[in-house]
Structure 1
Amino acid sequence: MARVVELPVHTHPLLPFTRFSFGTCRGCRSFSMIYGGYRCNEIECDNMFHKECAESSPEINHSSHPDHPLKLTFLDFQSSSCSICQDSLEAGYSCSECDFKLDLVCATKPPPLVILEKSNVHKHPLQFSHGTKLDDTSSYRECKVCTTRVFGGQKIYECRQCEFIYHVECVKLFPEAYHTSHPEHPLKYLKCDEAPDYANKGCLLCGVVFKQQLHHCEVCNVSICYMCMIDPPPLAVVSPTTHEHQLHLIPRRMIFTCNACGTQGDRSPYFCLECNFMIHRDCIDLPRVININRHDHRISYTRRLGHGEWKCGVCRRKVDEFYGGYSCSKCSGYVVHSGCATRSDVWDKIELEGTPEEPEEIAPFVVIDDNTIKHFSHDHHLHINKDGPSLHENTLCKACAFQICSESSYSCGQCDFILHEKCANLPRRKRHACQVHPLSLKTDYEEASTCILCHNLFTGFRYQYDYLNIIDVRCGSVLEPFVHKSHPHPLYYARNKSTCSECGKEGYWNLSCDECDFSLDFKCALLPPTVMKHRYDDHPLFLSCGESCVDGEYWCEACETKVNPKKWFYTCNDCGVILHIACIFGEFSYLLPGSAISLDEQVVIPNTSICRLLCFVCNSRCMLPSFLKYSEGGVDVQVCSYKCLDKYVFH
């Protein structure tokens, strides 16, 4: 297990690491690639520190404050600022006897206060400044070297005669500078439009595509990005997690297969001189034990997976048996590519080596006897009914807000509380592809929320991490591979902008096919295959996913307009009734009747009486199962859609 240490620069214990991580050091506040530093291992606290920043001396004497020693401490970011540069600070040095503070840069490696006349940068002296006057957002000023905007509080150099300003790092690297990975010749600073046509478009070391500037050697055709110039990658590293010997950087373009992850690289690997081992720099120091959001158990890194026909549990592509990867000790066939397991949308960035396994999940109910349970969401005992009774169409499961149909269910003998058997078995905590942290099952079923996957406003049970990450239990229960009768291939979670093959709407979360260009959004994918009762038919209605028209045109029984037989619709196998999906499921169909929305001003009411309710705005008799009652000034108004509600409210 890695040694966790307590350091005064941060409120939580810090974990030393040797991997490359791109981000902001919370000590010196520089934004760059950090290697061999410290990071926080707490949930949602991914702060990182350079090694030298985290291990700063606990006490120093400084020439700017000779009367008292300064102690290293964690400070209040909101109220603390450096006495020299005026920049806000979280970690720095402070005097216990007076209100004097220094950030780590000003305390240990301050840039020179004045750069004298230097023709290769500027003809006049440059004065160091913290750029406080740039806080005025009405004025736009840019660095004369890189031409990007300079914000208030950034450390800069400025010419008082010309009113030119420069980033501190730009002054160091302009007009040319040597680099540890290319010591033969200096690299010239160039803007992208100044680069020769033959120059590579991406950094030799990290591969980032140049957008504004680059540093280029014309003799060797070597190009390096700004970030790698500021913080050059080390020429040699040691990382026991992924390899037992010292690794050396080969700064050149070359095709290789990474031994740690089994995928191909095209530049600057680290190489072991003793055993012909090559590795991406991003694979150095892979975490040993982690949780990912695509699997219920912990997975562990192994340097060689061994013989087998392995397929990645995240991307579903082949995993090479002779290279490293992650595997589950409880599920013998589950493996994941190293790169897939450590993706930012898959891994929560928490390393678990040496951390005890979490206790078994608490069951959602206690078994009283063979037919009775006590569910954690309800005060009374629930009794099972496996006969699948034909219930009233308005009898809805309190968890998923759908009809019970012929499925087994648990019901309460003292009130109208009822759950599908499968909904009663929903786990109280689960991992889901939409969030790297575990989701908790919330059962305050009368509270309305919007699902981030299907975008329906719903009531019922929900899975939630925070107030931004809420999904209904229908979407939360989708397992991979997802099989839908509209498509011959299995579907998988995908987070990319695509168009639903059924409704044509664009979205970022969908269920996609790996074999062809087919995807479904969650709203279409989770339409119930059967609707037991509807006002237009006493028989079950079945979802039809597009059929060829055999005997002429199809007409909707509800709205009396044509139905496209190649699109989805509901139909009765006994009497041939056909209904549009939109004529069965409206905007309020995912809300339990009686649910209050917007501080009780809007209440969902059932539309199940013999005479259909009349919409106050569009004056139509709505065929949908639910209406919305809007109350204002003691007057109740019934509307059939949010469009009608908006017309009434903003008329």
Structure 2
Amino acid sequence: MEELKNYGHQHPLLMLNEEQLICNGNGNGVVDCSRCGENLSAPCFSCVECCGFYLHKSCAEAPVELNHPFHRHHPLLLLQNPPYTSDTRCVCDFCDETCEKFIYHCSCGLDFHIKCALFTFNIAERNLKELEHVALEDPSFSSKNDGGILGKCFVCWEPLAIYTYFSLDCGFNLHKKCAELPPKMGHVCHRKHPLLLQFNSERLSCKICQVTPNRGLVYGCSPCKLAIHIECASLFPDIEDKSHQHQFTLFWRQIPNICDACGTEGHHVAYTCGTCSIMVHKKCVSLPRIIQHGLHVHRVFHKYFIHKEYFESLNCIWCHEVVDTEHGSYFCEYCNVIFHVNCALKEKKWYCIVSEENEDDKSLDIPVSSITEVLERNDAGEATVIEYFKHKHYLMLSDKIREHGDKCCDGCLLLISAKFYHCSRCDFFLQKSCAELPKMTLVPTHICRGTQFSGLKPIILTSDCMFKCESCWFISNGFSYKCNECGSPVCLRCMTHHFQDVVKIPGHKHPLLFYYDNKGQCSACGADFNGADGCKDCNFHLCVRCVLRPTTVRHKCDEHLLALSYDKINDYAKYHYYDICEEKRDPKHYTYNEGDHPHPLTFVKKFPYYPECVKCGEHCKDLSLECAEPGCKYIAHWECLV
């Protein structure tokens, strides 16, 4: 055994060969390096005091300060612990795994495992002799290929496929071509300076494909703040895309352009089709031609331009902004529905790609009516007597609100209004709109939880049990639609909301549109939301629960109907309290009005000043209802209004 210096350890270290390592490893030779945490292989070092401290030879000889060719601006300093607070996770900028101890750190924010820093240093310095102990292998036949799952190259982060690569004992995979990359290259996309192989320390997006690489190496020019993926830096041949009838040719000149495939601006190199006179981003060359999207019942097709006369509306159904039909979009030829390309493909969980072979297998929405038979009609053609699949007696159409105004619809559980169907033999009521809902249909917006979207699923109308709606989270015993696959229920109010293009509420002058990526606080109840109906011009947003709130309700504490109030902030905010919980109320949020007074009322306790009740004339010494309208002197005992 050769005794050497301690390499920062409190005791001297001894160099071990393979046989000695096996003896130290309790007979199996499995020992981890105290710096990089990887399994040891001989030659390595062990503490003479047998305190459990071991080092790879490379980790022991790692310099305290490393001038790395892939990061020329600052040295990398070897630290025993991450230079961050305990609640900040330190992540290696090369392999993207957590760094817990002995890391190389740079003042510009780069962090590397000791093994990652040394591995890339050897590649940069062309020290391929450090890799000679590993054979070149075909990963598809390698014994280290776990279950046939191929890894990715640790330099370009592209799949190994059938390329020959280094499979290192320390866990790295590397294309042979990436191990031999030139450290410097000239490029037609950037003629002013040579490009250097380096870490992307400034997190720059690739000049060619516009994607920001998270790990690995890039070719970059630091003075010009430019980065290019290793894959993108190679001169590409022309690309033939199956969704386009002609071949795309790479156009290296950097000129501002609008991509004809997606309609967004580009400042980087592009591909062109001279036959069609179009120019597209590299990433848009292979856009899927047909997709099934969760927001529409039919498949939508990608087109480079569309004649405007085909459309009644040119607003994207995801973001509601106008789509420029001079450039690419996804559209439905049956329904005048259109998407921006980037909106259609924004969320992977919302769409699936339809293969060319299944192009003619269209998904059409063919609802099955809930009314099993119409027995009578009036002169206007309305069904006045019907058989309904969820009730054993005939149902009759009525508009006698005065006679039945205190009844609730058995489907949506709201107070009946306008026209409704009722049973003359039992206490069963259905809003006309609820009775006309289909008993089975396909519905957009539903994605089975925990699954990737693979097409629209049939949903079935049911009334068999209590349920919590998956959309609004209200608990109900009314009717619901259940997914035929996952069983998730949706209440009738939410289903009606799904089928509405716009929502109009009495408290706002503009119609509301649903924004799926909208985040913020509800203007009515103050709750946080992720996706809501809103008016962007007014910065007004309503969560699903508040959109679905009934405009009138009954409460056991009041014999009158309570109407939903949409009044703005007033001067009495500090006196606003709720009756039931007696907590302070935010006057921006919705309340319900008492039907006998035209203004909203709020609960107050007047102390020490006791005004007179407008109902009985006595002083209001206890909980009372006061008008929230400035200038109105209305105040009454709670008991006087019950």
Taking structure 2 as the reference length, the TM-score comes to 0.57
Q: CA deviation at 1:201?
A: 0.2
Summarize the Cα distance change of 1:224–1:551 in structure 2 as closer, same or farther, 3 Å threshold.
Answer: closer
Deviations 1:490-528 (A, max 9, x none): 322223332222322223232233324332211122111
Show the counterpart of 1:404: 415
Show the counterpart of 2:84: none
Among 293, 310, 316, the alignment partner of 1:312 is 316
Deviations 1:580-620 (A, max 9, x none): 89xxxxxxxxxxxxxxxxxxxxxxxxxxxxxxxxxxxxxxx
Deviations 1:456-509 (A, max 9, x none): 333433344443854322223222322233333332222333222232222323
Q: Which moved more, 1:262-271 or 1:407-416?
A: 407-416
Among 490, 493, 505, the alignment partner of 2:514 is 493
Q: CA deviation at 1:277?
A: 1.6
Among 172, 176, 179, the alignment partner of 1:174 is 179
Deviations 1:547-605 (A, max 9, x none): 45589955655556665543210012324796889xxxxxxxxxxxxxxxxxxxxxxxx
* Contact 2:219/2:230, CA 8 A, preserved across alignment: no
Among 363, 372, 385, the alignment partner of 1:372 is 385
**What amino acid is the match of 2:547?**
A
C-alpha separation between the residues in 1 aligned to 2:281 and 2:602? 54
C-alpha separation between the residues in 1 aligned to 2:544 and 2:365? 32
C-alpha separation between the residues in 1 aligned to 2:583 and 2:472? 27
Show the counterpart of 1:444: 462
C-alpha separation between the residues in 2 aligned to 1:419 and 1:383? 10
* Contact 1:443/1:460, CA 8 A, preserved across alignment: no
Show the counterpart of 1:460: 478
C-alpha separation between the residues in 2 aligned to 1:285 and 1:575? 64
Show the counterpart of 2:199: 191
Show the counterpart of 1:278: 279
Matched residue count: 438
Summarize the Cα distance change of 1:408–1:178 in structure 2 as closer, same or farther, 3 Å threshold.
Answer: farther
Say whether residues 1:208 and 2:211 are aligned partners: yes
C-alpha separation between the residues in 2 aligned to 1:146 and 1:337? 35
Show the counterpart of 2:263: 262
Among 410, 435, 457, the alignment partner of 1:424 is 435
Say whether residues 1:124 and 2:128 are aligned partners: no
Say whether residues 1:238 and 2:227 are aligned partners: no
C-alpha separation between the residues in 1 aligned to 2:254 and 2:488? 42
Summarize the Cα distance change of 1:289–1:223 in structure 2 as closer, same or farther, 3 Å threshold.
Answer: closer
* Contact 1:255/1:266, CA 8 A, preserved across alignment: yes
**What amino acid is the match of 2:354?**
I
Summarize the Cα distance change of 1:233–1:389 in structure 2 as closer, same or farther, 3 Å threshold.
Answer: farther
In our comparison, the structure showing a higher alpha carbon Rg is 2
1:508 aligns to what SS in structure 2?
Answer: strand
Say whether residues 1:534 and 2:555 are aligned partners: yes
C-alpha separation between the residues in 1 aligned to 2:170 and 2:337? 59
Show the counterpart of 2:353: 349
**What amino acid is the match of 2:127?**
S
Say whether residues 1:568 and 2:590 are aligned partners: yes
C-alpha separation between the residues in 1 aligned to 2:248 and 2:585? 66
**What amino acid is the match of 1:363?**
S
C-alpha separation between the residues in 2 aligned to 1:463 and 1:227? 49
* Contact 1:291/1:299, CA 8 A, preserved across alignment: yes
* Contact 2:186/2:195, CA 8 A, preserved across alignment: no
C-alpha separation between the residues in 1 aligned to 2:353 and 2:128? 44
Summarize the Cα distance change of 1:473–1:189 in structure 2 as closer, same or farther, 3 Å threshold.
Answer: farther
**What amino acid is the match of 2:295?**
R
Q: How does 1:606-617 map to 2 (within 5 A)?
A: none
Show the counterpart of 2:494: 475
Summarize the Cα distance change of 1:390–1:440 in structure 2 as closer, same or farther, 3 Å threshold.
Answer: farther
2:353 aligns to what SS in structure 1?
Answer: coil
* Contact 1:361/1:429, CA 8 A, preserved across alignment: yes
Q: CA deviation at 1:542?
A: 0.9
Q: CA deviation at 1:278?
A: 0.5
1:474 aligns to what SS in structure 2?
Answer: helix
* Contact 1:176/1:188, CA 8 A, preserved across alignment: no
* Contact 1:390/1:405, CA 8 A, preserved across alignment: no
C-alpha separation between the residues in 1 aligned to 2:273 and 2:563? 62
* Contact 2:576/2:586, CA 8 A, preserved across alignment: yes
Summarize the Cα distance change of 1:338–1:403 in structure 2 as closer, same or farther, 3 Å threshold.
Answer: closer
C-alpha separation between the residues in 2 aligned to 1:181 and 1:398? 74
1:546 aligns to what SS in structure 2?
Answer: coil
C-alpha separation between the residues in 2 aligned to 1:143 and 1:420? 59
* Contact 2:200/2:227, CA 8 A, preserved across alignment: no
Unaligned 5+ segments in structure 2 are 1-122, 378-383, 448-452, 604-642
* Contact 2:416/2:431, CA 8 A, preserved across alignment: no
1:485 aligns to what SS in structure 2?
Answer: coil
C-alpha separation between the residues in 2 aligned to 1:249 and 1:216? 19
C-alpha separation between the residues in 2 aligned to 1:551 and 1:359? 52
Q: How does 1:630-649 map to 2 (within 5 A)?
A: none
Unaligned 5+ segments in structure 1 are 1-114, 135-141, 582-651
Fraction of identical pairs, as percent: 24
Q: CA deviation at 1:398?
A: 3.2
**What amino acid is the match of 2:398?**
N
Q: CA deviation at 1:305?
A: 1.8
Q: CA deviation at 1:276?
A: 3.4
Q: CA deviation at 1:285?
A: 5.4
Deviations 1:25-57 (A, max 9, x none): xxxxxxxxxxxxxxxxxxxxxxxxxxxxxxxxx
**What amino acid is the match of 1:484?**
I
* Contact 1:530/1:543, CA 8 A, preserved across alignment: yes
* Contact 2:298/2:364, CA 8 A, preserved across alignment: no
